[in-house]
Structure 1
Amino acid sequence: MENNVKEPARLWKVLKSEYIYRDAWLTAQKDTVELPNGNRIPNYYILEYPDWVHTIAITKEGKFIFIRQYRHGIQEVRYELCAGVCDASDASPLETAQRELSEETGYGGGVWKEYMKCCANPSTMNNWTYTFVATDVEPISAPHREPTEDLSVHFLTREEVIELLQQDEIKQSLHAAALWKYVAENHLI
Structure 2
Amino acid sequence: MNKFEEKTIDTEVIYKGKIVQLQVDSVTLPDGQTSKRELIKHPGAVAVIALTDEGKIVFVEQYRKALEKSIVEIPAGKLETGEKPEITALRELEEETGYTTDQLKLVTSFYTSPGFADELVHLYFTDQVKPLEQKVDLDEDEFVELQELTLQEAEQLALDQKIHDAKTAFALLYLKLRGETR
- Per the TM superposition, whether the score is higher than 0.5 is yes
Superposed counterparts of 1:1-16, under 5 Å: 10-16=4-10
User: Any gaps of 5 or more consecutive residues in structure 1?
Assistant: 1-7
What does 1:93-172 correspond to in 2, within 5 Å? 93-140=85-132, 141-172=134-165
Q: Which residue of 1 aligns with 2:43?
A: 50
In 1: Cα distance, 2:76 partner to 2:118 partner: 18
For residues 127-177 of structure 1, what are the alpha-carbon distances to aligned partners after superposition, in whole Å with 9 as ceiling and x for unaligned?
201111111201023131111111111111232122223433311222212
Please report how far the alpha carbon of residue 188 of structure 1 lies from its aligned counterpart in structure 2 after TM superposition: 3.5
Which runs of no fewer than 5 residues in structure 2 stay unpaired? none
Matched, 1:20 2:22: no
Pairing partner for 2:25 from 20, 23, 31? 31
What is the DSSP-based 3-state SS (H/G/I as helix, E as strand, rest coil) of the residue aligned with 2:176? Answer: helix
Aligned residue pair count: 181
**Cα distance in 1 between the residues matched to 2:3 and 2:90:** 36
* Segment of structure 1 superposing worse, 142-151 or 157-166: 157-166
Q: Which runs of 4+ in 1 moved over 3 A?
A: none
Task: Please tell me the residue identity of whatever aligns with 2:24.
Answer: K
In structure 1, what residue type is equivalent to 2:103?
A: V
Paired-residue identity, % = 27
Which digits, 9 at most, give the CA deviation of each residue in 1:97-150, with x for residues without a partner? 101101111211142111121111112101201111111201023131111111
- CA drift at 1:63: 1.6
RMSD: 2.0
1:4 aligned partner: none
Deviation, structure 1 residue 9: 5.1
Residue 187 of structure 1, CA deviation: 5.9
